A and B are shown apart, each in its own frame.
Chain A
Amino acid sequence: MKPFKLSLTLKIWLTMSLSILITIIFSFLLSNLFYEKLYLKTVEKSLFREGQNLASDYTGGPLTGEFKEKIEWYNSKTESEVFAVNNPRELSACLPYEIDYETLIGEEERKRLLEGEIIRKVDYEERFDRKVLAVIVPLLDENRLEGIIYLYVPLATISELTNDFSYMWLVAGILFLIVSIYIGTLLVKKLTKPLLEIKAAARRVSDGDYSARVSASENDEIGELASAFNQMSSSIQREDERNKEFLANVSHELRTPLSYINGYSEALLTGIVKTEEEQKKYLSLIHRESKRMNRIVGDLLELSRLDMDVYQIIKTPLPLAQLIEDALQKYTLTAQDKGLFLKFNLDPDIIIEGDEGRIEQVLQNIMDNALRYTEKGGISVKLEKHEEGCVLEISDTGIGIPKEDLAHIKERFFRVNKARTRRDGGTGLGLAISDKIVRLHGGRLVIDSVFGEGTTVRIILPVMELNQ
Chain B
Amino acid sequence: MRKWSLKILLLLVTVILASCSQTYPSISRGAPLALTINIKDMTISFIDLENREKITDWQMDKPYSGGFLLPDGDTLLLYGRHLATVDLYSLANGKKIKTWKTGKGIDSGILLENGKDIVFTDRERKAVRFFTTDGREISEVPLNENPDSLLERRRKNSLLVLSVSGEKLLEIDLKTKELINCFPVHKSASGVLLKEVQSGDEIWIGGHGSGAVGEKNIHVYDADTGNLLKKIPAPLMPVDFSSGNEEVFAVSHGSNTLYKISKDGIIQGAVQVGANPFRLAVFKEFIIVAGYDSNDIHFINQHSLQIEKSVLVGEGPFQITLRERQ
Chain A residue at smallest Cβ distance from B254: A88
Q: Is the CB of A101 within 8 A of B276?
A: no
The interface residues of chain B lying within 8 Å CB-to-CB of A404 are none
Residues 260-319 (chain B) with a chain A CB within 8 angstroms: 275-276, 291, 293-295, 316, 318
Bound form: Cα–Cα A142–B213 in Å: 25
Chain B residues with CB under 8 A of A99: 188, 208
B275 near A87: Cβ-Cβ < 8 Å: no
Per a CB cutoff under 8 Å, which of B237, B275, B318 touches A144? B275
A89–B254 contact, CB under 8 A?
Answer: yes
Residues from chain A with Cβ under 8 Å of B275 in the complex? 114, 142-145
Report B-chain residues with C-beta under 8 Å of the C-beta of A96: 39, 65, 316, 318
Q: How far is the CB of B38 from chain A (nearest CB, A)?
A: 11
> What are the residues of chain B within 8 A of A145 when measuring CB–CB?
275-276, 293
Q: Does B214 have its Cβ within 8 Å of any Cβ on chain A?
A: yes
Give the residues in chain A near B208, CB-CB below 8 Å. 89, 94, 97, 99
Q: Find out whether the CB atom of B253 lies under 8 angstroms from the CB atom of A90.
A: no
Which residues, 93 to 149 on A, are CB-close (under 8 Å) to B? 93-94, 96-101, 111, 114, 142-145
Q: Give CA–CA (A88, B238) in the complex, Å.
A: 12
Q: What chain B residues lie within 8 Å of A114 (beta carbons)?
A: 275, 293
Set B209, B276, B318: member contacting A89, Cβ < 8 A:
B209
Per-residue contact bits, chain B 181-216, to A (CB 8 Å; 1 contact, 0 not): 000000010100000000000000000110111100
Known contacts A93-B276, A94-B237, A100-B188: does B294 contact A144 (CB below 8 Å)? Answer: yes
Number of interface residues of A (CB under 8 A): 19
Once bound together, how far apart are the Cα atoms of A98 and B187, in whole Å? Answer: 12
Q: How many residue pairs bridge A and B at CB < 8 Å? A: 60
A83 CB to closest chain B CB, in angstroms? 13
In the complex the two chains form, what is the Cα distance from A328 to B118 in whole Å?
Answer: 142
Report the minimum CB–CB distance from A218 to chain B (whole Å).
78
Chain A residues with CB below 8 A from B291, complex form: 143
- Among residues 32 to 61 in chain B, which have CB atoms less than 8 Å away from a CB atom of chain A? 39-40
For the complex, would chain A's binding face be called helix, strand, loop or mixed by DSSP majority? Answer: loop
Cβ of A339: which chain B residues have Cβ within 8 Å of it?
A: none
A62 beta carbon closer than 8 Å to chain B: yes
**Looking at the complex, which one of B188, B237, B295, B318 makes contact with A88 (CB distance below 8 Å)?**
B237
Instruction: For the complex formed, measure the closest distance between the CB of B36 and the CB atoms of chain A, giving whole angstroms.
Output: 14
Interface centre among B190, B254, B255 (most CB of A within 10 A): B254
Bound-state Cα–Cα, A418 to B195, Å: 151
Per the bound structure, the CA–CA distance linking A145 and B254 in Å amounts to 10
Do the beta carbons of A101 and B212 come within 8 Å of each other?
A: yes
Flag if A89 contacts B213 (CB, 8 Å). yes
Q: Are B164 and A98 in contact (CB under 8 A)?
A: yes
Tell me the minimal C-beta distance from A140 to chain B in angstroms. 9
Complex CA distance for A94 and B276, rounded to whole angstroms: 9
Complex Cα gap A98–B166 (Å) = 13
Residue pairs across A and B with Cβ atoms less than 8 A apart, 20 shown, are: A62-B255, A88-B214, A89-B211, A93-B237, A93-B253, A93-B293, A94-B208, A96-B318, A97-B208, A97-B239, A98-B165, A99-B208, A100-B165, A111-B40, A142-B294, A143-B275, A143-B291, A143-B293, A144-B275, A144-B276
Known A111-B40, A143-B275, A143-B295; further 14 A-B contacts with Cβ < 8 A: A87-B214, A88-B253, A89-B208, A89-B237, A93-B237, A93-B293, A94-B237, A97-B208, A98-B165, A99-B188, A114-B293, A142-B275, A143-B293, A145-B275
